[in-house]
Amino acid sequence: MMFGGSSELTDDLTSVTAVAAGGGDPPVDPVENRRRWFAIAGATAGIVGFSAFLTTLYTGMRHVEAGGGFCASGGPYVIAHQCTAADTRQVFIGVIGMLIFGGLFVGLTAYADGPVLVPSGLLWAALFGSLGAGFVFLPKGTQSGSSNYGVGIPFLLMAAAGLWPAITSGLAWLRRGGEPEPETPAFGGNIPLVRAAVEAPAMNAPPSAPSAGPNKPVVPKRLVIPPKDGL
Amino acid sequence: MTKIQTMAWALLTAVGGVGGIFAGMALANALK
């Protein structure tokens, strides 16, 4: 509680320099806080777009699989399964949009000082998991071939690898009891990354006289040159 | 991120991801 006329000024200064973060967090810079909120809003748009375009891609691929898992168009040969314009649009627009919005989501999450590895892994898992499942579990009435499993199972394994960061981070979070990760500097902060293997020479030390000791290497005092006649 | 921002980000990501599926179904239908 403030007495006198300076309380309003003090409150104003407090609101300028920091805003209460809530949830027990220390006050944060308001400019930084605003930047994060804008980034979170953008990341939300990114995940909506990623999900929408991935669904579009999945729909297009699903239709191709229902038609035998292969389609082509153009060229000099007669093609059994012609690609429809809808398949082409859905797959190509789905791939491009998914990549753009996925990058937007991850980039803006990083800009908001949020996690990067776990959401990136989850996007990866969503992409390869949905497509892999689409290859393995075909629409009813579709004849399955070995190529479906040859592609679908590796896709599912790749999706599982994308889940790994989320699983390990989640387990670590549970082990900490929900507490945030402690921020400790590398090697405790007091061990240098690189250390010299030899002692540094003493600077500005007085010159010391050579002493003959038991560990001193034997150096010849005079160099004896052989006579030239013998050559 | 503060705790509130982390929770908001996670919630919006989950809701947006699910909502995007429905948006994608509409988009795929529109691209037919």
Cβ–Cβ below 8 Å for B24 and A43: no
Are the beta carbons of A66 and A142 closer than 8 angstroms?
A: yes
Which of B1, B4, B28 has its CB closest to that of A112?
B1
Q: Which residue of A has its CA nearest to B29?
A: A56
Q: Which residue of A has its CA nearest to B14?
A: A47
What is the Cα Rg of chain A in Å?
A: 34
Are the beta carbons of A73 and A147 closer than 8 angstroms?
A: no
A and B: number of Cβ contacts within 8 A: 96
Residue B30 near chain A (CB below 8 Å):
no
Q: What is the dihedral of CA A196, A197, A203, A207, to 10 degrees?
A: -170
pLDDT at B19 over 90: yes
Which residues in chain A are closer than 8 Å to B10, comparing Cβ atoms? none
Residue A50 near chain B (CB below 8 Å):
yes
Residue A60 near chain B (CB below 8 Å):
yes
Closest CA to A164 of A222, A94, A117, A197: A117
Output the pLDDT for position A220: 63
Tokens of A191: 């061990």
Residue A90 near chain B (CB below 8 Å):
yes
Shortest distance between the Cα of A199 and any Cα of chain B, in A, equals 45
pLDDT in tens, chain A (231 residues): 333 334 444 444 444 455 555 556 677 788 899 999 999 999 999 999 999 999 999 999 998 888 777 788 778 888 888 888 999 999 999 999 999 999 999 999 999 999 999 999 999 999 999 999 998 988 777 777 777 888 899 999 999 999 999 999 999 989 998 887 777 766 666 666 677 777 776 666 666 665 555 666 666 667 777 777 755
Output the pLDDT for position A10: 43
Q: CA distances (Å), A88 to each of A18, A68, A84, A126, in order?
A: 52, 15, 6, 21
Q: CA distances (Å), A167 to each of A110, A163, B1, B6, B13, in order?
A: 20, 6, 21, 18, 18
Which residues in chain B are closer than 8 Å to A23, comparing Cβ atoms? 2-4
Cβ–Cβ below 8 Å for A24 and B3: yes
